[in-house]
Amino acid sequence: MTQRLLERNGMRVLTARDGMDAVALLQDHVPDVILLDIEMPRMDGYEVAAHVRNDPRLKDVPIIMVTSRVGDKHRARAIELGVDDYLGKPYQEAQLLDAIAPLVAKRRAAASGQAYAGAAGG
CATH number at residue 93: 3.40.50.2300
Residue range of the domain that includes 94? 2-108
Distance separating alpha carbons of residues 98 and 90, to the nearest angstrom: 15
Say if 41 falls within a structural domain: yes
pLDDT-based confidence at 110, cuts 50/70/90?
confident
Amino acid code (one letter) for 81:
L
Say if 114 falls within a structural domain: no
Count of positions (residues) in the chain: 122
List pLDDT tens digits, range 1-54. 899 999 999 999 999 999 999 999 999 999 999 999 999 999 999 999 999 999
List pLDDT tens digits, range 54-103. 999 999 999 999 999 999 999 999 999 999 999 999 999 999 999 999 99
